Structures are given as structure tokens and as C-alpha cells.
Amino acid sequence: MARPKPLAELIDSCIGPAFAAQGFASTDILAAWPEIVGERLARYCRPAKLEWPRRRRAEDGSGPEPGTLIVRVEGVFAIELQHLAPVVIQRINAHYGWACVGKIVLKQDRVGQRGAASATRGIDPARRGEVAKAVSAIEDPGLRDALDRLGIATVATAPAPGRPVKKT
């Protein structure tokens, strides 16, 4: 009778080739990402690809050159991650035990869409109607849609009227 295999063994064999195509040797960086950049920042950025420089024959016997980590990041957190890039590089290299990342390149993208979709479901229909009414007079459909999404996100994250605001 075969012994049961841990799920981690099965997942790595399934998605390992996809990660290898993006330059990652393992799926470990995604699992460790919140520990590397912190929980708050991890919600708004994700490693997308690790680009390695072309190999040159090293006569001096030095190790491989560090790669460039491409990170997808929400627009408002790009500046924060840019300022923290040296710390993030240091933490990634400490996690792996060698200087595998030498530079971080930021690509602005939407990352936290799962949370946004669940937040819009819990919006009070009256407040949703207020947002729709406020943007209905805008003629440009692209601008109207963008402002509608912004209004929904604002209403979803704002405390309901009459509810106390949590202080952290």
C-alpha cells in the first residue's frame, strides 16, 4: 500500500514547471513573501518573475551573478516598495542564503483583486446607489466606470455612518 504524500510534494510537481519558466527555482518565494516584505505590503505586491543575466564564463570562479526580481505592485504602494527595495533584496538574499537578487523592478498592476471583490458584495445598497447617482452625470464612459470603481472602493473601506472608527 502506498503511503499518502504531503500536498506540498504534489503541488510543487504540478506548478513547478510554470515557476521555472518565470525564473523561480521553487514556489518557496511566494509562500515566504509575507515574511520577507511584511503582511501589509504583501497584500499589495507579488513577485512575478526572476530574470537571470546571461551566463558568462567566470574565470575567477565567482558564483553566479544576481538576478532581477520583477514585482507586480498596486500603484499606491509602488513608492513604498521602491524605498524599501534595498531591505527587501537583503531579506530575500538572507532567506535563500546567497545573493540571488541584485535588483528589483516594479511593474504597476492590480494585485489585491480578491479582497476588492468580496468587499463590494458587503456594500449597503443605499450607499451603492449614492455612488451610482454621483457618477451618472459623467458622459465619458471610461471616466464614469473608473470613478464608479473608486466610489465603490471608498464606500467599501469607509466605516458606516454612526459606527465608531477603530484606532490601531
**pLDDT for position 89:** 94
Strands (E), the chain: 45-51, 67-73, 101-108
How many C-beta atoms lie closer than 10 Å to residue 91's C-beta?
17
- pLDDT the model gives residue 91: 92
Number of domains making up the chain: 2
* 3 located within any domain: no
| Residues 87 and 131 placed together within one structural domain of the fold | no
- Cα–Cα distance, 21 to 26 (Å, whole number): 11
Render each residue's pLDDT in the chain as its tens digit; 168 residues: 677 777 656 655 665 555 555 455 556 788 888 998 888 888 899 998 888 887 765 555 566 788 899 999 998 889 999 999 999 999 999 988 888 899 999 999 888 655 444 445 567 888 888 889 999 998 988 888 888 888 887 777 655 555 554 554
Considering only CA atoms, which of 24, 19, 70, 73 is closest in space to residue 48? 70
Give CA 163 to chain center in angstroms: 31
pTM given for the model? 0.54
Q: Range of 143's domain?
A: 115-157
> Would you give the DSSP letter of residue 100?
-
Contacts of 98 (CB under 8 A, 6+ apart): 63
Residue 141 to residue 136: CA distance in whole angstroms = 10
Residues 23 and 97 reside in one and the same domain = yes
- Residues 19, 68 within the same domain: yes
| Alpha carbons 75 and 106: distance in angstroms, whole number | 10
Taking phi over 0 as left and psi of -120 to 50 as alpha, with beta for the rest, 38 belongs to left
